[in-house]
Structure 1
């Protein structure tokens, strides 16, 4: 599942020149190939929550993979309008998976292993993105760009086959009637917080207020995480070319370190949290995030080090945020609702951050202002995530 949740967005970036020359896609249209899916991650979250509520997370994942596969094939077939239509379908379908996976992890994974499984999920998305980025151009040289971006649909098709088989087997062994999820606390026979409210009702109301506070803080944290990640991903190669005089291949290689180092962060957070506390692992991630823009501002000659540290931060930040949700969610509906709100806010920030960073660069003629934007985003992650994890631990 993770291999199909980001790689299809990355594939066109490796052959963007071929796509634009063959289809007549404008520069704005080329930007939409990566910008549209991220925008849909924010806008299509109500669709994902409705799907989970009506069909369950497994069926939602199947719909996700089917949509990604159909969009991947459609995008490789026609002119510019068809390419963009396939991209819209991919983005909407991926949104289903973005919300369904945390629900499935919360439901099926033992509590002590949630961080580890979330880390593996996050790391695999990064690995899939890197494999796609490295493999698409050679495939295009052999087969042409259309076959090259369509070929990654084989991975999605394999995932779809697996999940269809898994659901079929689950139905064969399922009991005639699935038991409904037990409520966290019973509140029957009493009015909420009224004069006759029971202690159970009051505790439930307190839990809900606590849950809303943690989710609000996680929205802030994921807005900072996503804005910092997408702004850095979009502009780090050009920043290094402008400030350090690197050739495109060298700046691209350094930027790739920012992506692949995410694997260290994704696995490092659960390992550190298992030996200490999740808030300590989150604090380490926050320190790494803040170090990236400060390092590039204060000691730009050590750009390789800052790229690696920033990569660790972006992989660990995702894992930390989505490891906190199950600590405060009362049931699957809470998990889906929290995940939807957090991702809607975060991906909306992700859509705005790269063009804002580009505008700051063109307006000031310097990369200082964009780096301060990234710094502000990392500070938002720091405040939101640390307050959220401390509140979650007090529950």
Structure 2
């Protein structure tokens, strides 16, 4: 009986792991597929730089605005079924958004961002509940898979557009396919399973906790840099003389090299006294890569996008790790995830938008580079507070 129970637990854990990886693969293509063809979309739909900035900002804003819906959905449906519903809606939005003009594009992008926001909030709680002894490692692995999905979408969307006779609509809709596959796989591993519903939220509010706010600010500021890179780096590189396909490839490479640091940074930090040193290291690498991409001679761009990717892979995985290791239990981790991502992503949405405004105003990327440096310094300050070995809601 014990062996059968152990085998069943192992099988369920394996199915959950595979399901989580497929979900993680879909947490960025809706965003990173737009940047490489942003200029083409802008020309096709007559969008200004500000309009393009709004398009890159919208899904990030919805990541934050939809985050509070995740705990409510989990209480009503259970965390796993809430993820399934979000996956299904994401797939529909990805199919629909390219084919209904400007309004359809913006609405579909917003819905996709909201679905990703819900899933992003729920996954740390599932990790904390199902893999409590290896939360940092699991977070690193699914962050690496997330980065892989983002990289593939960034690098393949422009070649897909060319393969579809220069039509950007099917190239954008193509990324609904991984969402459909993930939804089917997630549904199969839930078959017959009665997923537990989370209890009603306790009275203690994370919004009154200083450490929770520091985590939220770090999440938001590092995310602001990430989504600015997703949305604007292809355009920056094209303006500096790189062909669109190579610009998309550069972003793809930058995202792909996030994989090793996404895994390594939380693992190394777990063997250190706390996460503060790692926060500084990865953010300095991120700022160095951004500065090199904007200001350094264009001949060295491959070095700078690699440095940028290594920094951003580590900074994002550390942010997700903080959601798990700064909480004492799965329920608190889910609540912290909701609070930090709601505040953080809403704040992060200003990054791509303001970069678009600054470029429109000054017709140059130089001022935007200074603005991004200020964001990075703020992330270091917040991360030094969030990286301390403390727990939220401790008196």
TM range (shorter): 0.7 to 0.9
In the other structure, the counterpart of 2:319 is 321
CA contact (8 A) 1:226 1:346 kept: yes
Out of 99, 124, 144, the residue aligned to residue 123 of structure 1 is 144
Cα deviation 1:201-249 (Å, max 9, x = unaligned): xxxx8xx88992221111121222022223344444454566x655555
Provide the rounded CA distance (Å) in 2 between the counterparts of 1:323 and 1:167: 26
Q: What is the Cα deviation at residue 316 of structure 1?
A: 0.9
Tell me if the contact between 2:84 and 2:183 (Cα under 8 Å) persists in the aligned partners: yes
With structure 1 as the length reference, what TM-score do the two structures score?
Answer: 0.79
Q: Following TM superposition, by how much is the alpha carbon of 1:335 offset from its aligned partner in structure 2, in angstroms? A: 2.0
Counterpart Cα distance in 1 of 2:265 and 2:351? 26
Compute the TM-score of the two structures, normalised by the length of structure 2. 0.79
**Aligned-partner Cα distance in 2 for 1:366–1:129:** 27
Task: Spell out, residue by residue over 1:102-139, the C-alpha distance to the aligned partner (whole angstroms, 9 max, x if none).
Answer: 1111111133x212211122221221122123333343
Which structure has the higher relative contact order (CA within 8 Å, separation 6+)? 2
User: Taking structure 1 as reference, are residues 211 and 258 closer, same or farther at Cα in structure 2, changes over 3 Å only?
Assistant: farther
Give structure 1 stretches of 5+ with no counterpart. Answer: 185-191, 193-204
CA-based RMSD of the aligned residues comes to 3.5
Distance 1:83 1:298 in 2: 33
Aligned to 2:72: 50
Residue of structure 2 equivalent to 1:228: 225
Question: Could you tell me which residue of structure 2 aligns to residue 311 of structure 1?
Answer: 309
Does the CA-based 8 Å contact 2:161-2:168 persist in structure 1? Answer: yes
Distance 2:197 2:114 in 1: 31
1:152 aligns with 2:175: yes
Q: How many residues align?
A: 366
- Once the two structures are superposed, what CA deviation does each residue of 1:263-314 show, in whole Å capped at 9, x if it has no partner? 1220121332354445243342233234335656885565433322221111
Hey, what does 1:215 align to over in structure 2?
A: 212
Counterpart in the other structure of 1:347: 345
Corresponding residue for residue 17 of structure 2: none
Is contact 1:269-1:282 (8 Å) kept?
no
Q: Would you say the 8 A contact 1:293–1:372 is kept in 2? A: no
- Rounded Cα–Cα distance in structure 2 between residues aligned with 1:92 and 1:124: 20
- State the secondary structure of the residue aligned to 2:100: coil
Q: 1:329, CA displacement in angstroms?
A: 1.9
How far is the alpha carbon of 1:29 from its aligned partner?
Answer: 5.3
Give the 3-state SS of the residue equivalent to 2:152 in structure 1.
Answer: helix
Match of 1:80 in 2: 102
For structure 1, which segment, 214-223 or 281-290, has the greater mean C-alpha deviation from structure 2 after superposition? 281-290
Tell me: CA distance 1:92–1:253, structure 2 relative to 1, closer, same or farther (3 Å).
closer
Which moved further from structure 2: 383-392 or 364-373?
A: 364-373
